[in-house]
Amino acid sequence: MTKLIIVESAKKAGTIKGMLGAEFVVKATSGHILEMPADEMHVNLQDFTPTLHLIRGKGKKLEELRKAAAQAETVYLGTDMDREGEAIAQHVAERLGQPIANKIRRITFTAITRTDLQAALASPRSINLKLVEAQTARRVIDRLVGYMVSPVLWKGLSGLRRLSAGRVQSPALWLVVERERAIRVFVPEEWWSIEAELSKTSDPTHQKFWATLFKIKGRKPELKTEADAQKVLADLTSATWRVLNVDKGTRVRKPYPPFTTDSLQQAASSQLGFNPRLTMKLAQELYEGVKLGEGKAVGLITYIRTDSVAVAPEAQQAARDVITKYFGEAYLPAKPPIYQTRDKTAQEAHEAIRPVDPWKTPKGIETYLTPPQYQLYRLIWRRFIASQMKPAIYDTVTVDIETIIAGSATQYLFRATGSTLRFAGFLKVYGVDADAEESRQKKTKGSAASENEREEGTIENESMPDLVKGDDLTLHQLLPKQHFTQPPKRYTEAQLIGALKKLGLGRPSTYATIVETLKDRNYVAVEKKRLYPTPLGFQVCELLERHVQLVIDVGFTAQMEENLDRIAHGQANRLTVMGEFYGPFKDVVDQALAGAAAERQPAARPPKTNKTKRPAGRSKSLPTSDKVGQVCPECKEGTLVAKQGKYGPFLGCSRYAAGCRFTEKLGSGGRTKRQSTRRKKRRTPSN
């Protein structure tokens, strides 16, 4: 008899089928098979269980799975290894029913390779009901928050019926609004720096370097006006310059750990210009498999939804072999580095995002990848290889310079710093990108201090002459420069995700979706790749602050995330956690409904962009499609999104407002004009 493996996507199924023998049949669920309908809350408030229905159009898919399972000797559920994947496995097992349930086994794997699959098949397990319980709790809490709080917005803001609140969505909006408030109230303060271009008097080459005014009478300079700066310049006109002290040392710069979901999204944003949705789409393609020279699809990277930096020992050894061959043993640490995951909620059973086979170098497989796929794979490969290499070592020097002014007791101390790369270490692989990441923290050589260096007070020279205490120096020029303190910067999409991760909000599988929801709801907009709240976003946030503070409370949301983790680890009971949440939450919402209705105000409307917005009314469940998130085939810039139109569901381009009119019918349930119903629909919130 055959053995059946059930996974989530058709592409993943095709990759796995090409790696196993003829006795294996591989089928895909094409995502979830069950969902909570959107027409009502569908939560039993006695035991907090959700009402799940078969997704429209999945009946045929389920029948196909049942038929294949009935003919199979064993059924392996190989859905993703996170909580959502565990829940899908449980739903499939329930719907396959008896006697098929008796031959179901659960398998998980971090990478789609023959070795990983064989290892998974050799050690199947039962479905982890703790993870399923945690996922159920998350879905129910999200539904309760969305369906109970959204009416507060409807009552408080009239004119729009598409408003919604969410467990993580609302705190994320608050972060964007708070940052904007800080920017608006920010009052710039003027300050001045003074730099001196110097050289060693006895040096025949007159090698020049820059030093910055560091102390005045032993204290940090406070030059607030041009007059303050000019007074110092006047004092220094006749000064004698001399080396007071030289401190030489070394600086060790350790490599970055391999990627997690959020760090990959942030690096891809800053270095490649990819938004989180595109990054995850490309990463999914690399994970599920790409056809290489032999014509079969091969998984190139490990599982992409992870908050762990752990690396399998065999992967470390493979990386060490690659490093030895391409860079030499000098770049190899004595022992493989061990990276500790700082996030206490991380699932250590997961690995970091890394190349499945480090010997598949980016250049070696470039011809088989699209340009964006190649860019992302190269970023992941370089980060992983670099993480297994020795640190970089710099020779550093700090020189304090005194000024001697005849007839003056005022002491002006200047400081010059320099560093020279002695050993490249991991920078041999990750140099350009590492420099780009570190540039936010430390300035390299320049003629004047940047606005963000007020605390550091010095600039760094790429090279310095050989100086010793007592050396006389020659002044070439004094350079005063006016600065103004800068307001905080708006978040990029990736930076907002980083903030959510740091605060313990959301999980790797939800980061990108949270940001997209804020944009789809017109709560935030993007300008020059940075997020800012729209007038509607401000109104929604302010209304929640006044009436449902709990929903935007970062600490409350983070605590709820921890409770979900405790359920997953078997440390808490789902019903207990739900009961402790629901009672106080309901009281807050009941009071909020009355308060919001009393101050009802018009909602800020978004600018008109097109005429195909979904009409107000009951939201419909859209058929799933593997094409969602793919690059638009017409404009090549937007991504495909599922929408509900007058005549049924369809795929459209995210750049509709910019003029792209690509559409494609979605699923088999789309209605024609003659089938259109006039049934009155009810508005519903969205999580």
* Whether 426 contacts 392, CB under 8 Å: yes
Specify whether the backbone of 134 is left (phi greater than 0), alpha (psi in -120 to 50) or beta. alpha
Q: Which two tokens stand for residue 255?
A: 């490599």
Output the CA torsion sign for 308, 312, 315, 317.
positive
* Whether 350 contacts 392, CB under 8 Å: no
Specify whether the backbone of 289 is left (phi greater than 0), alpha (psi in -120 to 50) or beta. left
Non-local CB neighbours of 352 within 8 Å, separated by 6+ positions: 257, 258, 259, 260, 302, 306, 308, 309, 310, 311, 339, 384
* Whether 501 contacts 217, CB under 8 Å: no
Give the residue among 178, 154, 169 at the shortest CA–CA distance from 547. 154
* Whether 647 contacts 665, CB under 8 Å: no
Cα-flanking dihedrals φ and ψ of residue 453, to 5°? Answer: -110, 15
Give the residue among 301, 294, 298, 356 at the shortest CA–CA distance from 15. 298
* Whether 75 contacts 100, CB under 8 Å: yes
Q: What is the spatial distance between Cα 175 and Cα 334, in angstroms, rounded to a whole number? A: 44
Non-local CB neighbours of 501 within 8 Å, separated by 6+ positions: 262, 307, 343, 511
- In the block, tokens 């020097």 appear at 397
* Whether 209 contacts 199, CB under 8 Å: yes
Give the residue among 383, 497, 357, 360 at the shortest CA–CA distance from 437. 383
Q: What is the spatial distance between Cα 685 and Cα 663, in angstroms, rounded to a whole number? A: 26
Q: Which two tokens stand for residue 679?
A: 């049934």
Q: What is the spatial distance between Cα 653 and Cα 642, in angstroms, rounded to a whole number? A: 9
* Whether 560 contacts 141, CB under 8 Å: yes
Q: What is the spatial distance between Cα 79 and Cα 319, in angstroms, rounded to a whole number? A: 28
Specify whether 303 is catalytic. Answer: yes
| Residue 490 DSSP label | P
Q: Which of 256, 287, 303, 331 is catalytic?
A: 303
Specify whether the backbone of 659 is left (phi greater than 0), alpha (psi in -120 to 50) or beta. left
Helix (H, G, I), strand (E, B) or coil at 42: coil
Enzyme catalytic residues: 303
